Amino acid sequence: MSWEKVTDFKAQVKVGDTLRIHTGYSESLKGTVTGIGVCGFLLQDSLKRYECYINFDNNIEVFRKPKRWRAGEGYIYYHTDMQHTVARGDWRLVEDNLNYKHGNYFETKEQAEEAARRIREVLKQYHNELDGGGKE
């Protein structure tokens, strides 16, 4: 997932956004926006060690990490299980949240089927390694 450049901080930066900020220094900051003020925003670093205030008028470049797609509550998404692809409504149950958290959450049946195919292939390769390259 690529980072997108933010050109209008006041219009584009929202609470909850994950940002990467390039300053004039060698290090860049990465974290989550926790608050927005008139002149800047608060950024909680990704390791939760500190929170800093970034002024809008600083000479900085800001990049935002796009959020992954998630179905609206009660709407259909697709995920894989060990046998086949399953469609289900997202009711924000523990299973739905875990599927989303672990990347087992797809907008289309075709995406879920491709993920299932790739998982089966990785498992087959791993078992071949365990068996010393023997037969399936």
Task: Tell me the pLDDT tens digit for each residue of 8-33.
Answer: 766 777 888 888 877 666 567 778 88
Domain count, the chain: 2
pLDDT of residue 45: 74
Task: Please indicate, yes or no, whether residues 54 and 17 belong to a single structural domain of this protein.
Answer: yes
* pLDDT grade for 126, boundaries at 50, 70 and 90: very high
Beta bridge partners of 52: 43
- Cβ atoms 43, 55 nearer than 8 A: no
103 vs 3: CA distance, rounded Å: 18
Task: Please indicate, yes or no, whether residues 52 and 105 belong to a single structural domain of this protein.
Answer: no
pLDDT in tens, 44-68: 776 666 666 777 666 667 777 767 8
Task: Please indicate, yes or no, whether residues 61 and 81 belong to a single structural domain of this protein.
Answer: no
Enclosing domain of residue 82: 76-130
Give the predicted TM-score (pTM) of the model: 0.54
Task: Identify which has the larger pLDDT, 33 or 79.
Answer: 79
Task: Please indicate, yes or no, whether residues 39 and 85 belong to a single structural domain of this protein.
Answer: no
